[in-house]
Amino acid sequence: NAGVTQTPKFRILKIGQSMTLQCTQDMNHNYMYWYRQDPGMGLKLIYYSVGAGITDKGEVPNGYNVSRSTTEDFPLRLELAAPSQTSVYFCASSGTGGPSGNTIYFGEGSWLTVV
């Protein structure tokens, strides 16, 4: 029962490098999200998608890009990495309507350090 799978789990980037965090879900959820969590803080929404081909900005989108070509996949791209992007990144998904729409399922997280 895979749920939400994100890779890599750990990554160290140099300032100015770019990378893509991969995320896939096997629950046929329409909604997918990328959050970041800084130490001792809550989760802040970076981008979200309500379905294939549709994406929108969250609270903290600067420095990131996303795409949603399929229902299953929602990669997050970091362009020109900066130390301020050092964080834990969580991909998540949820269904639509009823109880399934109120539960967000999170991946295990990706620890990113920019040096």
Terminal-to-terminal C-alpha distance of the chain: 35
- Tell me which H or E stretch contains 31: strand 31-37
Q: Which C-beta is closer to other proteins: that of 22 or that of 79? A: 22
Task: State the nearest-atom distance from the C-beta of 18 to other proteins, in Å.
Answer: 25
Task: State the nearest-atom distance from the C-beta of 90 to other proteins, in Å.
Answer: 6
Task: State the nearest-atom distance from the C-beta of 35 to other proteins, in Å.
Answer: 8
Give the dihedral of Cα atoms 10, 55, 64, 58; nearest 10 deg.
Answer: -90
d(CA 14, CA 55): 28
Q: Which residues bind other proteins (CB under 8 A)?
A: 31, 33, 35, 40-45, 48, 50, 58-59, 90, 96-97, 99, 101-109
Q: Which C-beta is closer to other proteins: that of 50 or that of 80? A: 50
